[in-house]
Amino acid sequence: MTTGSSRSPHTGDNEGAREDTAVMVRRTRRDPRHDILFEPVTIGPKVLRNRFYQVPHCSGLGDVKPFSQAEHRAVKAEGGWAAVSTEYAPVSPESDESPWISARLWDAEDAANLGLMAEQAHEFDSLAAIELHHSGAHCYGGESRTWPLAPSQLASDLNVHIVPKAMERSDIERVKTEWVRAARAARDVGFDIVYVYGGHSYLPMQFLSPYYNHRDDAYGGSFANRARFWLELLEEVRAAVGDDCAIACRVAVAALGPAGVELDEALVVQHGASSGIEDSRVLHHPDRGHNSVHRATLPYRGGSSLRRVLEHLNSLEVG
């Protein structure tokens, strides 16, 4: 059959159709430079089937709507993400994010709720990650009615009306114990990756930050002391989950505000974490700290610069 048009595949002109198809194939062919994104990558004891990693983000579902949470992440897993993650999931009742809806891992019911998500991710061969978290100075315990805890009794720079209690040594031990318990519970309901999360000026970062940490005991003062809480936590979580889970850790650097830490210090923590935990590789997600952008108007601690951060990111080897 012949028509007036020689190009459209809809005209029945086979020659034109073949040409159009060839153009489309050429246009959609993957640039070989991107092939690496589709290769597997090993993180500690786990293997991601490609390099597409869904970093923690809120869904508004938390563990309040566990079935929707599971479906939401499953859509991503089905779409090809090698790992999907929860949003922030506090490990302790005083880190209570209400009135915002977050995931959380305080007890067995929370674990069972979030386990649905891990189950569904696995159905599509994706790994499931959980952002275990404690926000320290930033929470006011609207639901749990407990007081906020932080390295020192200094108002949150995110919610300035919140003034936390300075953590006693028993509080430090309890939070570490709760983090470890949450990591084990997450492992037991099927999570492959557990976070010891420190980005966004959450509790581990508050210990590291001279802005938040004015302690004069073994957890404050020198850089080694300020890093102690985070590194101990990493080691204890590793000891608890063994090779059953990978451990992920986000370190925020150059946070554009006084509460951040310098690039150099953040990198030392990164290296300390990697070398301090045998037989594991910590997944580092260097991060500028999105919650910190509003602080850009406050005096900026010199030393780090975005350029240096970018130089560092460019030098990272993706294995």
Ligand X SMILES: Cc1cc2nc3c(=O)[nH]c(=O)nc-3n(C[C@H](O)[C@H](O)[C@H](O)COP(=O)(O)O)c2cc1C
- DSSP-assigned states of every residue in 211-231: TT----STTSSSHHHHHHHHH
Q: Which residues of 178-202 are buried (b: 16+ CB within 10 A; e: fewer)?
A: bbbbbbbbbbebbbbbbbbbbbbbb
Residue 133 Cβ, how far from ligand X at the closest point, in Å? 7
Residue 278 Cβ, how far from ligand X at the closest point, in Å? 27
Give yes or no for a contact between 155 and 93, defined as CB atoms under 8 angstroms apart.
no
Residue 183 Cβ, how far from ligand X at the closest point, in Å? 17
| Residue (103 or 152) nearer to ligand X, CB | 103
> Which one, of 81, 82, 87, lies nearest residue 69 by Cα?
87
CA distance 72 to 66: 10
List interacting residues with ligand X (CB under 6 A): 55-58, 87-88, 131, 199-200, 287, 290
Q: Which residues are tagged catalytic?
A: 202
| Residue (13 or 273) nearer to ligand X, CB | 273
Give yes or no for a contact between 291 and 156, defined as CB atoms under 8 angstroms apart.
no
Residue 276 Cβ, how far from ligand X at the closest point, in Å? 23
| Residue (200 or 226) nearer to ligand X, CB | 200
| Residue (13 or 61) nearer to ligand X, CB | 61
**CB contact set of 86 (below 8 Å; sequence gap of 6+):** 56, 69, 73, 103, 114, 117, 129, 130, 131
**CB contact set of 177 (below 8 Å; sequence gap of 6+):** none
Between helices 263-276 and 306-315, what is the axis angle to 10°? 30
Residue 56 Cβ, how far from ligand X at the closest point, in Å? 4
| Residue (55 or 298) nearer to ligand X, CB | 55
